[in-house]
Amino acid sequence: MFTAESWPIAANMLSFGATAPDGGHIKDAPATVWAAQMREARELGITQIDPTDAWVPLARLSDERVEEFRRTLEGEGLSIPSISMTRSSVVDRDKGDQFLAEAHRLLDLAPSFGASIVNVGFMQALTPEQADAVWFWLENGHHDDPALRDLAIERIRELGDHAQSVGVGLSLEMYEDTYIGTPDDAVAFLDDVDHDAVGLNPDLGNLVRLHRPMPHPDDMYETVLPRSNFWHIKNYSRDFDPRTGAYTSAPMPLKYGYINYRRIIRRAIESGYTGPFCCEHYGSDSLGVIAENIQYIRQVLASALD
């Protein structure tokens, strides 16, 4: 059992993006570029990162570059408890086969980095309207095709078999308008996959930020926490004016947003949650907010585990 200080809590590195200073892809950049970005995190007291494929896609690196990444990571004093895939759906009509192969490669790589979880989801590339919006979630995005649900179940079960064989977990990230876009849909999908190595990533921040009706987060978490094995954790403000029908939302540090994470994290521990946390934040000084959020989670854990 982890203590509050030893619990794996990573910073998601997606705030750095995938573009290197020279305009090329970060995966092709010199290791010194990776090191400089890792050092920014380390200087904030962050000791663990999640190398999401929205930053450095490990599955697309050659074996030699993977080892270069590993040496850079160790040189900066960082470790990896989880690896996330972002907008890389295994049932994407154009790239699903590629993304499935990349998920398998990450499952092979994860144990060598000490990662206990590989996170996948069914969200897909941003639409042009989303890319142009102030906040991408304010525009309508991808909706999963019900006709591909059986294929999605088959491919997640295949990945679950692989995950189990290498001793890691597979987590499914909740995201609106996908097969796991609501708590009930997520649990139903997980039941249909029916695999001990597969759990949920209850990233309900993805839902709370939407400008649409939404159950209270306490009720949503009550449904999914018992099935969760990993957690992208972030918070937002949320408001609704019944006179005009207008919603508002914006990213907030964990401590100040709409979701009461002191209560929810304690409830997660009571429900048996033992997975890693991965802190995310959009806008402003994302990395600085993440560093503060990590310390907040540790304080809540210290209280909950006392």
Tell me the mean pLDDT in the region 187-214: 98
Burial 128-166 (b: 16+ CB within 10 A, else e): eebeeeeeebeeebbebeeebeeebbebbbebbebbbee
- pLDDT band for position 23 (50/70/90)? very high
- What CA–CA distance (Å, rounded) separates 290 from 300? 15
Q: How is the chain split into domains, by residue range?
A: 9-305
Domain 9-305 -> CATH class = alpha beta
User: Do residues 253 and 291 touch, judged by C-beta distance below 8 A?
Assistant: no
Q: How far apart are the first and last CA of the chain?
A: 13
Kindly report, residue by residue over 274-287, the tens digit of the pLDDT. Answer: 999 999 999 999 99
Q: Give the position of tokens 């159950």.
A: 215
69 φ, ψ (degrees, to nearest 5): -60, -45
- Span 147-156, pLDDT tens digits: 999 999 999 9
Mean pLDDT of the 30-40 span: 98
Query: pTM, whole model, 2 decimals?
Result: 0.97
Q: In the numeric block, which tokens belong to residue 142?
A: 């991808």
- 64 Cβ neighbours under 8 A, 6+ residues apart: none
